[in-house]
Structure 1
Amino acid sequence: MGEVSEPSRLWREELASLVEDTGIRFNGQVIGISTPAFETKKFESESPGNESSESLKDQIKGFAKAWGEMVVGFGRGCKDVVQQTLLTEDSYIVKKTRGPLSEVSERLRFFNQYLPEDRDPLLAWPVIFFVFILALSVLGVNNKYDSSVTMAKKVRLHPPSAARILLPDGRYLAYHDFGVPADRARFSLIIPHGFLFSRLAGIPGIKMSLLEEFGVRLLTYDRPGFGESDPHPDRNLNSSAVDMLNLADAVGIKDQFWILAYSDAAIHAWAALNYIPKRIAGAAMFAPLVNPYDSSMTKEEMSRTWEKWTQRRRFMFYLARRFPKLLNYFYRRTYLSGKHGQIDKWLSLSLEKGDKILIQKPTFEELWQRNVEELIRQGSTKPFVEEAVLQVSYWGFSLVDLQVQKKCSRKGIPWLKFIYGQEKCELTGFLGPIHIWQGMDDLVVPPSVTDYVARILPNATIHKLPDEGHFSYLFLCDDCHRQIFSTLFGSPQDPLGVTDETPSGYD
């Protein structure tokens, strides 16, 4: 190899002075690389041109390493300057932010109970927060990618079609009247809709001929803020029962009526049994949900319920209980995204085989999508958040209050009670029939929930359904609908004559 020019030699010597000893040796003329023994043959067999190229590569790597070390050193120096000038006890920033940060830290201290005992919260939570943000970003990228692969069906906006009543507080309540006319109904059945259904659902797939055969009038309604019903400024389960009562009065139900509830809609049925029991003839419930945080549940009952749910569903329940405002983000990306999605994905459900087959049927998909389109008509996440919070909050009563109990009392001075004769006793709780149908393979509201209800309400009649899931019995099943009506109303009877005086309650 020829002589190396003076500028080139000087440049290489200066570069060598910036890096550590990396095996590069300078002899004033050429650059050699000290290599391990096992690489000697390789370099001997290569041409001089290849040797020069390899040497330059190592030089660049050494320079990059030195540059990286300088950057790290510079960063540490900046950190020390900040700590010694801006973050001291006497600095302006610390004086101004110490109070607010201490208050926020105190309020969020309960989070520390979720950390292992050997973890410093000051170090652990920033890491957790960073991972959480990173996970949300990944989910967002995945959702965007999925939507580009599978063309999701867009939500359609339908013209208003509901009948509405004006409530005493000035709100309008939308309802759907189906079945035999009011003056011919032997039984009136009111149905509050489930979380992602509307007044259009009712008993999914119920035939008009069956309603005629049993003389049933079926009424469904949109809960406040859903569909075509006005929102309630401060709704709770008491107001839910009052809305149901006002609907019954407005449509001419003068006597008792039955109530049918499915899954999470059961909380509104429980409320009706507690707040307006004298107007309820009886209740039919299907996989009824209860408050999963109810204090009357044993640890075993609670564990058997939670273990069936997906991690995402548990997380959504936790958010509803602790940070309900964060639910807005998830609801905007699912129900209110403007596109349709699968019910199991949107509700984070685990489904058994029968349910998976059912939700893939075109009839179910059409029913589900039409109900979602009606439900989100107002474009607000508020009613969804309210509903989620109601499920996991204190209801204002407990299921224990619905137990049929004998309550006796005497008036007068306690130690002279024997003078006043026998005590006056009365039955308290809900005195009508309660029928509960539970699929034994249900993973959405597992059988353990119904076992808990049966323990609290021993007078309830439990119908266990082997090989049935969450949707497979009530939805689109003609034989099942007939079995349900036969259980509730007995043998089929023709609708009443116009002049017949038989009431619309139960005999």
Structure 2
Amino acid sequence: MKMLSTSPRFIAGGQLTRGRRRLGLVSISSWIVRSIKPPPTTICGSGGGPPVTANRVRLRDGRHLAYRESGVKKTDARFKIVFSHGFTGSRFDTFGASPEVIKELGVYMVGFDRPGYAESDPNPDRDVRSAALDVEELADALGLGPKFYLFGNSLGNHAVWGALKYIPERLAGAVLMAPVINYRWPGFPPELASETYNKQEVGDQWALRVAYYAPSILHWWMEQSWLPTSTVIKGTTYFPNKRDAEIRKTRIADGSQKKKMDLATQQGRYESIYRDMNVMFGKWEFDPMDLPEPPFPVHLFQGDEDGLVPVTLQRYIADKLSWIKYHELPETGHYLSSVPGLGDRVLRTVFGNPSSK
């Protein structure tokens, strides 16, 4: 029987091999950590960060929210609206109402950069509740009074759901426009949620899985190029609605889509759109379908040809929450602010005849 050598040379060789293995494992681990960890945030107004050009309010925790006011003067307004923008949006977003109708009805509106977007400071503790409290603090800082209206667009509607849960006493009314849904809200029948979830592109399914089950690696997942990822980020989602498809094509061609994305993500994609995904598609503290009826009207506008939000799930929510005034728009997609006349219709639906108020 051949015995293993116990010479110093043999032992040293074995130790060297094990040392190299350990070094290799450490190197791999370090590479994984570096890959997963998002790059440093380039905060507006900091050294090397984008400049601050917008009006901003300072919140209790020291963060700043950038905002933009429009419509009639605040002191002359009959109705005051806080507008929560969607994915890749900013304080410049609106819901497409005409200046004439805004003036006629006496509407004041403030749009704001949600945390981490454009010129608002990031919030590492961002969640649905903090989104609602940010809206409340902004309204108080601008002196909007004890009650105001809250409008949300697309993914920005998580702030509206949060407000209905956490600060309903501050709202005079709420409007959800093409609100993005979370497939894992418990109120959805599992078979209906699975059916619609599985109709998405594989990359979109995986992006939502990672946002829910492994949010700490979402930045890495979205930035890597060898596994399927979100078609929404890449701008290749199939749009069944012709207007949506044409709008996206035009925005890509004229560069406005890139300009919009660059503004939204100028402090880093992680603090803006990726953290948005973690909040919207992660684990919620409550199910919107368990919300009690509020003492004010809530309107929901949804296109029946929306390629980003399944209309079947939106119908289920509206049926479950019978107090929601549901408006399904025929032959309409996701970009509701671009639908001619819809913004005016929304205002007239919500506020009616101003002389009767």
Return the TM-score normalized by structure 1.
Answer: 0.56
CA deviations on 1:457-481 (whole Å, 9 max, x unpaired) are 111111111111111xx22334111
How do residues 115-134 of structure 1 correspond to structure 2 at under 5 angstroms? none
Q: Which has the higher contact order (CA 8 A, sep 6+)?
A: 2
Which structure 2 residues correspond to residues 71-110 of structure 1 after superposition, within 5 A? Answer: none
User: Cα distance 1:206–1:368, how it changes in 2: closer, same or farther (>3 A)?
Assistant: farther
Superposition deviation, residue 331 in structure 1: 4.7
Counterpart residue number, 1:226: 117
- Measured after TM superposition, the shift of residue 386 of structure 1 is 2.1
Per-residue deviation, 1:165: 0.6
Say whether 1:387 aligns with 2:276. yes
Alpha-carbon distance, 1:452 to partner: 2.2
List structure 1 segments (4+ residues) > 6 angstroms apart after TM superposition.
Answer: none
Question: Are the counterparts in 2 of residues 173 and 221 from structure 1 also a CA contact under 8 Å?
Answer: yes
Matched, 1:180 2:58: no
Cα distance change, pair 380–312 in 1 and its aligned pair in 2 (3 A): closer
Match of 1:242 among 107, 130, 133: 133
**Alignment match, 1:209:** 100
Alignment partner of 1:465 out of 316, 329, 336: 329
Deviation at 1:446, TM superposition (A): 1.1
Residues 416-437 of structure 1 show CA distances to partners (whole Å, capped at 9, x for unaligned) of: xxxxxxxxxxxxxx22211111
CA distance in 2, matches of 1:398, 1:344: 25
What does the per-residue CA deviation read over 1:157-177, in whole Å, with 9 as the maximum and x for residues that have no partner? 985321001111111111111
How many residue pairs get aligned? The number is 315
Q: Does 1:483 align with 2:350?
A: no
CA distance in 2 between counterparts of 1:320 and 1:479 reads 36
Corresponding residue for 2:264? 375
1:16 aligned partner? none
Where does structure 2 lack aligned partners over 5 or more consecutive residues?
1-16, 26-48, 226-230
User: Cα RMSD (Å) of the superposition?
Assistant: 3.3
Work out the CA distance in 1 between the residues paired with 2:153 and 2:53.
Answer: 24
2:160 equivalent to 1:296: no
Q: Which amino acid aligns with 2:212?
A: R
Q: Is the 8 A contact 1:437 1:463 kept in 2?
A: yes
Q: CA deviation at 1:300?
A: 2.8
Query: Within 2, Cα distance between the matches of 1:363 and 1:481?
Result: 24
* Residues 370 and 491 of structure 1: CA distance in aligned 2, closer, same or farther (over 3 Å): farther
d(CA) in 2 for partners of 1:195, 1:217: 23
Deviation digits for residues 120-152 of structure 1 (CA, Å, limit 9, x no counterpart):
xxxxxxxxxxxxxxxxxxxxxxxxxxxxxxxxx
* Greater alpha carbon shift after TM alignment, 283-292 vs 206-215: 206-215
**Alpha-carbon shift at residue 296 of structure 1 (Å):** 1.9
SS in 2 for 1:360: helix
Q: Within 1, Cα distance between the matches of 2:108 and 2:117?
A: 23
In the other structure, the counterpart of 1:361 is: 250
Residue identity opposite 1:164 in structure 2: R
Deviation (angstroms), 1:369: 3.5
Cα distance change on mapping 1:300 and 1:278 into 2, 3 Å? same
> Following the alignment from structure 1 to structure 2, what is the Cα–Cα distance between the partners of residues 329 and 188?
40
Q: Which residue of 1 aligns with 2:7?
A: none
Q: Classify the secondary structure of the residue corresponding to 1:255.
A: coil
Tell me by how many angstroms 1:256 deviates: 1.4
User: Contact 1:287/1:439 (CA < 8 Å) preserved in 2?
Assistant: yes
Displacement of 1:178: 0.8
Against the structure 1 CA distance between its residues 167 and 158, is the aligned structure 2 distance closer, same or farther, given a 3 Å change threshold? closer
The one-letter code matched in structure 2 to 1:394 is K
Residue identity in the other structure for 1:355: D
Contact 2:50 2:267 in 1 (8 A): no
Q: Aligned letter for 1:448?
A: T
Counterparts of 1:459 and 1:453 in 2: how far apart (Å)? Answer: 10
Tell me the residue number matched to 1:262: 153
